[in-house]
Structure 1
Amino acid sequence: MKQFRTGLVVGKFSPLHLGHELLIRRAMTACEETVIISYSESELPGCDSRRREQWLRARFPEAILLVLHNDQHALPHNDADELIHRRLMGWACTHFLNRSVDAVFTSEDYGDGFAAELTRYFGGHPVQHVQVDQARKAVPISGTRIRNDPHAHRSFLSAEVYASFVQTVCFLGGESSGKSTVAEAIAARMETAWVAEYGRELWIEKDGHLEYEDMRQIAVVQQQREDALRLKAFRYLFCDTSALTTLFYSREMFGKADAELEQRAERRYDHVFLCAPDIDFIQDGTRREASFRLQQHAWYLAELQRRRIPYILLSGSVEQRIATLLSHLG
């Protein structure tokens, strides 16, 4: 038997850091079920409610989670009187979750008053306050410090949370326009991860005999790689092509594109760089003629404009292109 039946943890979790995770795991150890409620008005930079919900579901799938979204609920300001916030939590437990709680877990000195108000709200049902690491000795960090520089405080964030602060950088361009070379070089320069082009790998594996069904699979695997490597990246993740590239080849080779491929081609990146066809064309046995590269480049120009996707043109040598990247990425 655990000490409590139902425990409650409330927070902005902006962002969800290892101090919060310690608090939640202590609650889960002591309680048969743990309720996590998150809300913030106003939202704090990089920590909107749906992102917080994603973090909490990824890290604590077994918990009972309630995230109050600003666009769905009239929430009190973060600086509103404590009594308003405490009564809101009592109302949320009864209105949304149809339950009271037996303990509230905090790392703050207001916890005793919070528990006392919940006890009154629940008609005298006793709620105990359990304090966890108030001095912040176990996890010496705060949300404010992390928001100021999430990259400097990466060690206080789980991979799933830190990944939200990693910016994605996509390289597009025709065949032999330097995408892979630049992606690998800039990733090494910035000591982070890069995503190789899966479509090229599959083309080589199948000796150039791709089928229509391969197009959708290329987009799926490419994005799976992006999602996996984002968990390992630092500050930036560099992506050699995207599903937009696969969409071009599907239409070029088969005159059509799978609905899922079309949808995956909508994925947006924080930065898009288009590699100009101004370097020597190298025929490695897997590429078409040089004129096809110009056709691809023209298609990207038109498609990026049609989709209203901002981009930066990369031209010149590899070092010139890296210099352009660094000037834009900082």
Structure 2
Amino acid sequence: MRRGLVIGKFMPIHNGHISLINFAAAQCDELIVSMSYTPQDPVNPEMRFEWINEIFKNHPKIKPAIIVDDFDDDRLVLQERTRIWANKMSEVYPEIHVLFSSEDYGESFAISLQAEHVLFDQARTLTPISATLVRTSPFKYWDFIPKEVRQHYVKKICLYGPESTGKSTLAEKMALHYHTEFVPEVARELISSNDITVEDIIKIGYAQTERVKEKTKIANKILFCDTDLITTKIYSAHYLNQVPRILDELESEITYDLYLLLDIDVEWVADHLRDFGDKRLEMFNRFKTELDTRGINYIIISGNYEEREAKIIAIVDSILNNVSSG
């Protein structure tokens, strides 16, 4: 059996890594993909390892492995560090026949492993990307990020506030403008009146949370969300005089990158679920207080609907430009 080895931090794994791993797997009976990590890594190790497993789950020859880097010493010269690494790899993964890499240290590493070395795209001409570039400017290098990883970098924007302020319309319009996804207010799909029960509100909480998670996986850089669990809790307190504890847990599962608090300076439009037309200022202040209490940053969006749309586009464009440029 010809056993190969690819090592890396994969912080995060990108299309260049994937090309290297596929290249290596084609030349082996078994390929170990060893991910090293330290507790100080800027990208969560468990999440990185999950990405690798998910990407290669249908490749039986590829065997992801994880190892804590508690033996490297960056005070040493490269040759000595390489020898220490090779010794550790030999200890953990016996009988490595070939090392695949795109790095300068690959040859000396392979010699220490007593293995063959195969160099792949060292100049990064096939896939001009690095993990550092992805971490620094993920939107600029979006096309080099596998779909399993992209969700980590998606910016979630919550359109938030009381009834009849344009949240639903703006969420859908913004998604179309930016060629991405939006999450609707799931409650409107599940209930037909305000005569709700605790079971209804819990069902809404779970459904809203799950929909955000699902859409985050396929969003294109930005995800627009019409409402959140804070909103669900506000209406639960109003209609039921209680807030089920599970809503606290569900709220903690989703972190939004930006809240846009929609002002009430547009005309009230009634429908079969809206019933706060005479309490708009009171409800606006309630929504605002919930953000202030949590220490959540937000931007108030006021003006007519065209002005709101223009303001949101300007804000999102700024986010995209800043994230792209690092």
In the superposition, the TM-score normalised over structure 2's length comes to 0.81
Shift of the alpha carbon at 1:272?
Answer: 0.7
Contact 1:42 1:77 in 2 (8 A): no
1:213 equivalenced with 2:213 (yes/no): no
User: Counterpart of 2:215?
Assistant: 229
Secondary structure in structure 2 of the residue aligned to 1:24: helix
Q: Deviations over 1:192-217 (max 9, x none)?
A: 2211111122123xx55533122222
> Which stretch of the first structure deviates more once superposed, 105-114 or 75-84?
75-84
- For residues 321 and 152 of structure 1, the distance between their equivalents in structure 2, rounded to whole angstroms, comes to 27
1:179 equivalenced with 2:128 (yes/no): no
- For residues 167 and 177 of structure 2, the distance between their equivalents in structure 1, rounded to whole angstroms, comes to 15
1:322/1:11 CA distance change after superposition, 3 Å: same
- For residues 300 and 238 of structure 1, the distance between their equivalents in structure 2, rounded to whole angstroms, comes to 18
> Which stretch of the first structure deviates more once superposed, 221-230 or 290-299?
290-299
Shift of the alpha carbon at 1:180?
Answer: 1.1
The code of the aligned residue for 2:309 comes to I
User: Counterpart of 1:246?
Assistant: 232
Q: Deviations over 1:90-146 (max 9, x none)?
A: 43674xx57564432212343221112234xxxxxxx33233344545434334544
* Alignment counterpart, residue 317 of structure 1, candidates 279, 296, 304: 304
- For residues 63 and 230 of structure 2, the distance between their equivalents in structure 1, rounded to whole angstroms, comes to 38
User: Counterpart of 1:3?
Assistant: 2
Contact 1:40 1:78 in 2 (8 A): no
Contact 1:37 1:67 in 2 (8 A): yes
User: Counterpart of 2:110?
Assistant: 115
1:13/1:99 CA distance change after superposition, 3 Å: same
Secondary structure in structure 2 of the residue aligned to 1:265: helix
1:168 equivalenced with 2:156 (yes/no): yes
Contact 2:162 2:280 in 1 (8 A): yes
User: Counterpart of 2:321?
Assistant: none
Query: Paired residues, what number?
Result: 311
The code of the aligned residue for 1:12 comes to K
Q: Deviations over 1:32-83 (max 9, x none)?
A: 3524223479856xx45455344334324573332548xxx58544996243
For structure 1, the residue ranges without an aligned partner over 5 or more in a row are: 120-126
Secondary structure in structure 1 of the residue aligned to 2:180: coil
Shift of the alpha carbon at 1:270?
Answer: 0.7
- For residues 177 and 43 of structure 1, the distance between their equivalents in structure 2, rounded to whole angstroms, comes to 42
User: Counterpart of 1:308?
Assistant: 295
1:168/1:77 CA distance change after superposition, 3 Å: farther
User: Counterpart of 1:257?
Assistant: 243
User: Counterpart of 2:19?
Assistant: 22
User: Counterpart of 2:266?
Assistant: 279
- For residues 303 and 46 of structure 2, the distance between their equivalents in structure 1, rounded to whole angstroms, comes to 41
User: Counterpart of 1:83?
Assistant: 80
Contact 2:82 2:105 in 1 (8 A): no
1:147/1:302 CA distance change after superposition, 3 Å: closer
Shift of the alpha carbon at 1:151?
Answer: 2.2
- For residues 284 and 12 of structure 2, the distance between their equivalents in structure 1, rounded to whole angstroms, comes to 40
User: Counterpart of 2:30?
Assistant: 32
User: Counterpart of 2:255?
Assistant: 268
